Amino acid sequence: MEIAHVGAPGRLRALPTRLVNQVAIVADRAAERALENTGSRRHHYALLVALREFGPASQAELGRRTRIDRSDIVATLNDLADRGYVERSSDPTDRRRNIVTITEAGTRHLEELDHRLDGAQDELLAALTTTERTDLVRLLTKILDDHSRG
């Protein structure tokens, strides 16, 4: 897919839906480059972030917090567990449910991913000032929150 550029028709450059889509393509490429050679992808990162921020959680809770599909959660957690980044244990209140916990190795891996993704943010937002970056995040969050309620 092509990326919007300075020479694109004005009507296309004025469509927020198209602009967001075009920026998403650039953002995806930057994130993929940042995560290259780590063995991790965006789902891995999202799950590690959720576990680090909120603590141990069930697979279902992780799915709700990250909006990752259940089948993708299982596959990604299997990979993280195989690599020693998370541990699963039975929930003492409901033996049918697993509780997932980030390990020390998982925390170190998350720190590496954070550093790499910080670089991706800088690459993506190089044309913006610090204030503009803050405003962009605020506005995108407002749009997502509004659509999450509906």
Question: What integer best gives the mean pLDDT of the chain?
Answer: 93
Span between the terminal Cα atoms of the chain, in Å: 30
Q: Let me know if residue 59 belongs to a domain.
A: yes
Among 25-34, 92-101, 116-125, 128-137, the minimum mean pLDDT is found in 92-101
Q: Let me know if residue 3 belongs to a domain.
A: no
pLDDT, one tens digit per residue, over 37-96 is 999 999 999 999 999 999 999 999 999 999 999 899 999 999 999 999 999 999 888 888
* Domains: count for the chain: 1
CATH number for the domain spanning 117: value is 1.10.10.10
Domain that holds residue 108: 10-149
pTM: 0.88
Q: Let me know if residue 125 belongs to a domain.
A: yes
**CA–CA separation, 130 vs 133, rounded Å?**
5
Among 5-9, 24-28, 36-40, 143-147, the minimum mean pLDDT is found in 5-9
**CA–CA separation, 19 vs 13, rounded Å?**
7
